[in-house]
Chain A
Amino acid sequence: MSSQRLPSGGRINRGRPLEFFFNGRRYEGFEGDTLASGLLANGIRLFGRSFKYHRPRGLFGSGSEEPNALVQLGEGASTIPNLKATQVELFDGLSARTVVGWPSLEIDLYAINNRIGRLLPAGFYYKTFMRPRFLWDWYEGRIRHAAGLGFAPTEPDSARYDKRNAHCDVLVVGAGPTGLMAALVAGRSGARVIVADEQAEMGGDLLSSTQHVSGACPWMFLDNLVKELSLMDNVMLLPRSTVSGYYDYNFLVINQRRTDHQAGIGDIVSRERNWRVRARQVVLATGAIERGLVFADNDRPGIMLSSAVRTYINRYAVRPGRTGAVFTNNDSAYQTAVEMHGAGMEVKGVIDVRQRPSQERLLQMDTLGIPVYSGHGVGGTRSGRQGLRAVELCRLSADGRDVLTQKGSLDCQVLAISGGWNPAIHLHCQSGGRPKYDDDQACFVPDKSVQSERSAGSALGIFQLGNCLSDGVDAGVHAVRETGYACAHIDIPYASDRTGSAIEPMWNVPDGVLPGRGGKKFVDYQNDTTAADIALAAREGYRSIEHVKRYTALGFGTDQGKTGNINGLAILAQHLGQSIPATGTTTFRPNYTPVTFGAIAGRELGTVFFDPVRKTPMHDWHVAHGAVFEDVGQWKRPWYYPKGGETMESAVRRECLATRKSIGLLDASTLGKIEVRGRDSAEFLNRIYTNAWSKLEINRCRYGLMLGEDGMVMDDGVSSRLGDNHYYMTTTTGGAAHVLGWLERWHQTEWPELEVFFTSVTDRWAVASIAGPNSRSLLDRLCSDIDLSAGAFPFMSLREGSVAGISARLFRISFSGELAFEINVSADDGVALWELLMEAGGEYGITPYGTETMHVLRAEKGYVIVGQDTDGSVTPADLGMDWIVSKTKDFIGKRSLARSDMLRDSRKQLVGLVTEQPETVLPEGTQLVNEPSTDYPVPMTGHVTSSYYSSTLGHSIALALIKGGHTRMGASVYAPTLDGQCIKAIISSPVFYDPENKLHKT
């Protein structure tokens, strides 16, 4: 394949040749090339096969609008599917392959679809493979294989992806001439500016331009501009950064690609960075995207957007072919004819659908010896092995709707086409703005701004360079003023723009043959949607563009129809006999271009960074002593401490027995702790808890239950009175933050007149709980300043003193049913206390236990855990806890307890369950039925909330919520299991151990 590289020019670095691989073959390019330009320079014109018909396809565009040239980049874990070759920067050793084509790009067996294309209209798959339903899975696999849009890596990607939050006064989206001028004004004025551009280099259209600015060549102008901006501390330039979404309150997300253009950078630098920007003002200088023309067989490799041809020639110094022609309905493509001529291509002509192009253009072409075929169209194309070979000329009627005569053909390898320009209004529309149709320019432009944004330059429908430069300045001035800065003076650069004649819309180029007979007229290349598909949709009754999109796939895919959508909706409008604005556009949603899952996840992955891990002061001791941890909310709590290869079952059995027989030690630091202070503390607690608090004596503790206003149990815990107007509340581990918020909310919004303050002290205290018959004896050895006797320090009271010299608050409360002390010390002393207890408790065989043993011990006593035995639909009465509900005072939730539904006999009530087989442990959560019936559906009567094997009792125990359970003591229920068995259990009291409540009071 001969080199198509021009001998000079371009923004490539000829001193840095690069080698790269495409479909396994080796090629050479230069630094500054994209994969697309590098391949084009090597004479490659075939880049892929189309999605449905498997037609050969070449480059159509030169940037993110590219619909055809999709590649799979790299191998293994870091491979990325469906990148556009036009956006992949070359680096040494790059390897890519096409995504469609089986078994290979050149010989694609699925190309048969093209021959039978008449049988594959819009909706074909829906209509054909719907039945029989069971075959769909098979069909789907075959269809996906045939369509093939690359493959996702199967191994985890080892690259880092990260995020940054940013704030700025002015975010400039797009670093073309408009955006750079806006940034310059804002930067010089001292505003904090971020400039994001999706390309590797700042400059936008200036990079492909030969038009002088203020008398200088465009690249010199550009280099000076970018240099000045890059030296400003208040300006951040983000190349390779796509603003992918524009959300409420000027919150925008930028996806920055940081390493994919470099080889061997390692994993230090993140591969992509997700910028989350809050901007005070946004300048949308996103430019305009050229659209194609819809004519017969308009998809041959070599048929390209006019702007892309210009870009390959000027920016990359690549000649896309030896011979070329231009097909247009507007003035802009004439410049492409000039550039092709300048690049040494033989330009066979400019085919202009307009009857009267401007004199200035005609003169310009005449000077270069390029014939202009005005009032003509392309009626069809012919191709050879390497794509386009010739185009067929037709003389069009004055209204452009019919072919008058066939005028022979022009042999050419390249056809540069231009159907006009679509301002990139995507972000404007995402921000809440509407599109407005501009009849004169035949395109949608931004309507009123809804957020603090302003579109500028060609994004606003301003297509001349000089006007863009001055509009960029205007946009910058506007943004600077709105953010309160004094605006710096700036000289507006000038560019001599040519005058010309207006665009004439041409949505569907006639080919002079009967409908359904000529070549396919592609509207959306990526989805193989044709003008005939849209016509069919209209005939079948589709009216809404949103429905037509979903029926024909118009505008889906990785390019989101950037080049084809407007042509498609205009064709629909014609078929429906209505105007383009009446037809409207589809909704513009984030993301503008595809964003990887890695970028969205960032570092918030895995067990380390996804959610905070909270650790108690004794955490490292637990780790050192082999604890297995359980997540309780964000906390890591020891679950059990296996010894020498113990199973969980045997460790828990050992821990339970040690506690019941001697002493167990639990890290209870995670319990929520709240100090309640103020004159109205007791009154406040009265309103929050179901029971009364006014008469609680100082240094005494009381168990309390909190309800939601709906009467359902919300949280529980023991609270104590420390002083006259001073209480100390504890909450469940998981409910701590919620309860504090609950107290604050009622106080701030409902009862601000009550004098009370709440302060969280959860982290301030380390809590070691010792439980078991020997716990007093142990404490006696360590504590000399508190009389620990039952008479002096009764159950449900607290004392302050010291334990082994550490200042401590001791609570005589028990969650195990044993004699127990909760020792609270400063978090800083937590480890020291723990180690002292372990050392002094050695002779009692003190045994640290985890949450599993804690659960077994409390279940043996029938103590509920809020959130495990309750689920937001359980009242105190359901738990058999009427005794804690005050009849005399109001409290949150009280009125709800008297609602008719709360008085139903058939409510689910908490009971104990004992299985018929003592060793059988019911699965937690299992449903219960009254009869072991197989006559499905069997009515459910309740479910198991907690279930354990009790080694103390020698049989399994369970807590369950059962309909009317309180009156069904001794009755049988059945638990059907997944393996088809039915476990029989007897309803009992939930209190299995020490029902007389003697032990913990000793």
Chain B
Amino acid sequence: MLSIDCPWCGSRDQSEFSYGGEAHIVRPKEPEKLSDEDWGDYLFNRKNTKGRFEEQWCHTAGCRRWFNAVRDSQSYKIEAVYKIGEQSPDGIPE
């Protein structure tokens, strides 16, 4: 059972949060111009990172804010949290 630092509410039990999967997936500006393959990539393909991984969480039962977290997928340790729109401490992903 994780304890997650909401950027607004501080440390709360994992049961108050919901998981949003990989962060920094930007919706294509003009979807109709994408090939089926590129659209499918946006829609379905996700990293399966071993180690530090940027992902989205929402403090569903609290302030209802979405935010990003860098979580180590091996140790489950959340190394950092940052608000939507802020840059990841790991820099801009390739």
| Interface of A toward B, CB cutoff 8 Å | 247-251, 276, 278, 432, 450, 709-710, 741, 744-745, 748-750, 752, 890, 894-896, 898-900
**Contacting A895 at CB < 8 Å: which of B26, B34, B85?**
B34
Judge whether A896 and B39 touch: CB under 8 Å.
yes
Bound state CA distance, A247 and B2, in angstroms? 9
Judge whether A896 and B84 touch: CB under 8 Å.
no
Bound state CA distance, A903 and B8, in angstroms? 46
Specify the chain B residue showing the minimal Cβ separation from A891.
B31
Q: Report chain B residues within 8 Å CB of A749.
A: 20, 56, 66, 84
B32 at the interface (CB under 8 A from A): yes
- Contacts A249-B76, A278-B3, A894-B32 known; 11 new A-B pairs at CB < 8 A: A247-B1, A249-B3, A278-B13, A709-B43, A744-B58, A749-B66, A750-B27, A752-B84, A895-B31, A895-B39, A896-B39
Specify the chain A residue showing the minimal Cβ separation from B56.
A749
Judge whether A744 and B64 touch: CB under 8 Å.
yes
Judge whether A900 and B36 touch: CB under 8 Å.
yes
Judge whether A745 and B66 touch: CB under 8 Å.
yes
7 tightest A-B CB contacts, nearest first = A895-B31, A249-B3, A251-B1, A748-B66, A248-B76, A749-B66, A895-B39
Q: A248-B76, A251-B3 are in contact. Are A710 and B84 (CB under 8 A)?
A: no
Bound state CA distance, A791 and B57, in angstroms? 50
Considering the complex, which residues of chain B in the window 38-84 have a beta carbon less than 8 Å from any beta carbon of chain A? 39-40, 43, 56, 58, 60, 64-66, 75-76, 84
B87 at the interface (CB under 8 A from A): no
Judge whether B1 and A890 touch: CB under 8 Å.
no
Q: Report chain A residues within 8 Å CB of B66.
A: 744-745, 748-749
Q: Name 8 A/B residue pairs within 8 A (Cβ), A-sorted.
A: A248-B76, A276-B1, A741-B60, A745-B20, A752-B84, A895-B28, A895-B34, A898-B32
Judge whether B75 and A432 touch: CB under 8 Å.
yes
Q: Report chain B residues within 8 Å CB of A709.
A: 27, 43
Closest-CB distance, B75 to chain A (whole angstroms): 7
Bound state CA distance, A847 and B34, in angstroms? 54
**Contacting A745 at CB < 8 Å: which of B39, B58, B76?**
B58
Bound state CA distance, A749 and B1, in angstroms? 26
Q: Report chain B residues within 8 Å CB of A890.
A: 31-32
Judge whether B40 and A899 touch: CB under 8 Å.
yes
Specify the chain B residue showing the minimal Cβ separation from A687.
B27
Q: Report chain A residues within 8 Å CB of B58.
A: 741, 744-745
Judge whether B2 and A249 touch: CB under 8 Å.
yes
**Contacting A248 at CB < 8 Å: which of B2, B18, B31, B43?**
B2
Bound state CA distance, A741 and B17, in angstroms? 12
Q: A741-B18, A741-B60, A749-B56 are in contact. Are A894 and B31 (CB under 8 A)?
A: yes
Bound state CA distance, A160 and B34, in angstroms? 60
Q: Report chain B residues within 8 Å CB of A710.
A: 43
Judge whether A748 and B1 touch: CB under 8 Å.
no
Judge whether A752 and B85 touch: CB under 8 Å.
yes
Specify the chain B residue showing the minimal Cβ separation from A737.
B60
Judge whether A895 and B32 touch: CB under 8 Å.
yes
Specify the chain A residue showing the minimal Cβ separation from B83.
A748
Bound state CA distance, A709 and B34, in angstroms? 14
Bound state CA distance, A750 and B84, in angstroms? 9
Closest-CB distance, B17 to chain A (whole angstroms): 12
Q: A741-B18, A749-B84, A890-B32 are in contact. Are A896 and B76 (CB under 8 A)?
A: no
A-B interface pairs (CB < 8 A), number:
55
Q: Report chain A residues within 8 Å CB of B39.
A: 895-896, 899
Bound state CA distance, A741 and B39, in angstroms? 24
Bound state CA distance, A744 and B34, in angstroms? 26
Q: Report chain B residues within 8 Å CB of A900.
A: 36
Specify the chain B residue showing the minimal Cβ separation from A758.
B64
Q: A248-B2, A278-B13, A745-B58 are in contact. Are A899 and B36 (CB under 8 A)?
A: yes
Closest-CB distance, A214 to chain B (whole angstroms): 40
Q: A890-B32, A896-B39 are in contact. Are A248 and B27 (CB under 8 A)?
A: no
Specify the chain A residue showing the minimal Cβ separation from B3.
A249
Bound state CA distance, A750 and B27, in angstroms? 7
Bound state CA distance, A450 and B74, in angstroms? 13
Bound state CA distance, A895 and B66, in angstroms? 25
Bound state CA distance, A896 and B36, in angstroms? 8
Q: Report chain A residues within 8 Å CB of B2.
A: 248-249
Q: Report chain A residues within 8 Å CB of B34.
A: 895
Q: Report chain B residues within 8 Å CB of A750.
A: 26-27
Q: Report chain B residues within 8 Å CB of A432.
A: 75
Bound state CA distance, A750 and B24, in angstroms? 10
Judge whether B56 and A249 touch: CB under 8 Å.
no
Closest-CB distance, A926 to chain B (whole angstroms): 31
Most central of A247, A249, A752, A895 by chain B CB within 10 Å: A895
Q: Report chain B residues within 8 Å CB of A899.
A: 36, 39-40
Q: Report chain B residues within 8 Å CB of A744.
A: 58, 64, 66
Q: Report chain A residues within 8 Å CB of B43.
A: 709-710, 896
Q: Report chain A residues within 8 Å CB of B65.
A: 748
Bound state CA distance, A466 and B7, in angstroms? 46
Q: Report chain B residues within 8 Å CB of A898.
A: 32
Q: Report chain A residues within 8 Å CB of B20.
A: 745, 749
Q: Report chain B residues within 8 Å CB of A895.
A: 28, 31-32, 34, 39
Closest-CB distance, A895 to chain B (whole angstroms): 4
Closest-CB distance, B43 to chain A (whole angstroms): 6
Interface string of B2-31 (1 = CB under 8 A from A): 110000000001000010100000111001
Q: Report chain B residues within 8 Å CB of A752.
A: 84-85
Bound state CA distance, A928 and B31, in angstroms? 37
Bound state CA distance, A741 and B59, in angstroms? 11
Bound state CA distance, A996 and B64, in angstroms? 45
Bound state CA distance, A748 and B57, in angstroms? 12
Q: Report chain B residues within 8 Å CB of A249.
A: 1-3, 76
Bound state CA distance, A898 and B35, in angstroms? 10
Bound state CA distance, A819 and B40, in angstroms? 44
Q: Report chain A residues within 8 Å CB of B28.
A: 895
Q: Report chain B residues within 8 Å CB of A250.
A: 3
Closest-CB distance, B70 to chain A (whole angstroms): 16
Bound state CA distance, A245 and B85, in angstroms? 38
Q: Report chain A residues within 8 Å CB of B3.
A: 249-251, 278
Closest-CB distance, A245 to chain B (whole angstroms): 10
Closest-CB distance, B63 to chain A (whole angstroms): 11
Judge whether B1 and A248 touch: CB under 8 Å.
yes
Bound state CA distance, A752 and B65, in angstroms? 12
Closest-CB distance, A901 to chain B (whole angstroms): 9
Closest-CB distance, A295 to chain B (whole angstroms): 43
Bound state CA distance, A899 and B60, in angstroms? 33
Bound state CA distance, A749 and B27, in angstroms? 10
Bound state CA distance, A749 and B25, in angstroms? 10
Q: Report chain A residues within 8 Å CB of B13.
A: 278
Closest-CB distance, A360 to chain B (whole angstroms): 47
Closest-CB distance, B2 to chain A (whole angstroms): 5
Specify the chain A residue showing the minimal Cβ separation from B66.
A748
Specify the chain A residue showing the minimal Cβ separation from B18.
A741
Bound state CA distance, A35 and B64, in angstroms? 54
Closest-CB distance, A896 to chain B (whole angstroms): 7
Specify the chain B residue showing the minimal Cβ separation from A247.
B1
Judge whether A748 and B84 touch: CB under 8 Å.
yes
Specify the chain A residue showing the minimal Cβ separation from B1.
A251
Most central of A710, A749, A890 by chain B CB within 10 Å: A749
Q: Report chain A residues within 8 Å CB of B84.
A: 748-749, 752
Q: Report chain A residues within 8 Å CB of B1.
A: 247-249, 251, 276
Q: Report chain B residues within 8 Å CB of A896.
A: 39, 43
Q: Report chain A residues within 8 Å CB of B32.
A: 890, 894-895, 898
Specify the chain B residue showing the minimal Cβ separation from A165.
B13
Bound state CA distance, A890 and B26, in angstroms? 16
